[in-house]
Amino acid sequence: MRVQLRMGSLRLAPKFINLRADSLAGMGVLAHETRCGAKSVLLGGVLLMGLGCVSAPQVEAPVDYRYFERPAPGEAWSRKIERWQLREKRDHTRSELAAVSSATVDSRVDATPDSPSTELREKYESFRAAQRQDLARGLVEWIQSQALDHYIEDGAIDHWATFEETLQTNGDDCDGLELLTFHLLRDLGFGEENIYRAVVYRRSDDQHHMVTLWFEDPSDPWVIDPTGAMTKGMRKMSELPDWAPVKVFTEDRDYTVLNRLRISG
């Protein structure tokens, strides 16, 4: 006897997956009603592990999906999707407002200590932060290894290459290689508002250098050094007191860094 598997509304047609009923019973498959109302079969972890033991899916006909077709007028799924889109955009806007203001916008969005949503929100943000740091550390390791092969000294004139020039010439000095980390961090979703190019200066030997700064903490950014001249690993600016930031900029922003302690003193 063969049975058809369904997971929620996602049907696994018999032509793709066929399992013997006695095999399913042996692997703890339970039939139940989903919230979507479809008669379904719940696959537990045991079954998912066991799938590797059954025969390969039988594909009877090739498929050629067109993924981006316009929905038919009045399509039920589209109405459901549209309602979710409106709520998602509304909540996202409210979350952004809550992030820049302590004012409560909506009790469901405002994460008070007693809110049932606090725990998952904190887990999400903590995991995201850890993943970003791991990603950035991996990037530092990668770019510094690439610098060994692609560091090219400027001539008599200090030239700041564009990103495209750096790629076309197969390398550059620190200000060209830095563009790889500057662009890559933004491409990976670190947020343009958090990633800047920076000119840094070391007074002891009158040396200037170019690094990327990741402002995870607005007051003390991570230093992403393309060549390792300033730091081998990923460290905070405050951990490198021999160096001072001078300029912070992007393609369309330009800021001068002032030492507030020196100004107030």
Binding interface with Ca ion (CB under 5 A): 154, 159, 173, 175
Assess contact for 147 and 166: CB atoms under 8 A.
no
Tell me the CB-side half-sphere exposure of residue 174, using CA atoms within 13 A.
19
Measured from the CB atom, the residue of 175 and 225 that comes closer to Ca ion is 175
To Ca ion, the closest distance from the beta carbon of 123 in angstroms equals 43
To Ca ion, the closest distance from the beta carbon of 196 in angstroms equals 18
Assess contact for 41 and 6: CB atoms under 8 A.
yes
Give the separation between CA 129 and CA 28, rounded to whole angstroms. 37
Measured from the CB atom, the residue of 173 and 225 that comes closer to Ca ion is 173
Structure tokens at 139: 């990037």
Give the separation between CA 153 and CA 173, rounded to whole angstroms. 5
To Ca ion, the closest distance from the beta carbon of 169 in angstroms equals 10
To Ca ion, the closest distance from the beta carbon of 174 in angstroms equals 7
To Ca ion, the closest distance from the beta carbon of 96 in angstroms equals 38
Residue 111, CA distances (Å) to 86, 103, 121, 241 in order: 21, 11, 8, 37
Give the separation between CA 248 and CA 196, rounded to whole angstroms. 6
**Pairing verdict, β 254-256 and 243-249:** antiparallel
Return the sign of the alpha-carbon dihedral for residues 170, 172, 176, 177.
positive
Measured from the CB atom, the residue of 82 and 251 that comes closer to Ca ion is 251
Q: What residues have CB less than 8 Å from 30, skipping those under 6 apart?
A: 41, 42, 44
To Ca ion, the closest distance from the beta carbon of 166 in angstroms equals 9
Measured from the CB atom, the residue of 23 and 250 that comes closer to Ca ion is 250
Give the separation between CA 186 and CA 215, rounded to whole angstroms. 12
To Ca ion, the closest distance from the beta carbon of 133 in angstroms equals 29
DSSP assigned state of 67: T
Measured from the CB atom, the residue of 50 and 176 that comes closer to Ca ion is 176
Measured from the CB atom, the residue of 79 and 159 that comes closer to Ca ion is 159
Measured from the CB atom, the residue of 17 and 179 that comes closer to Ca ion is 179
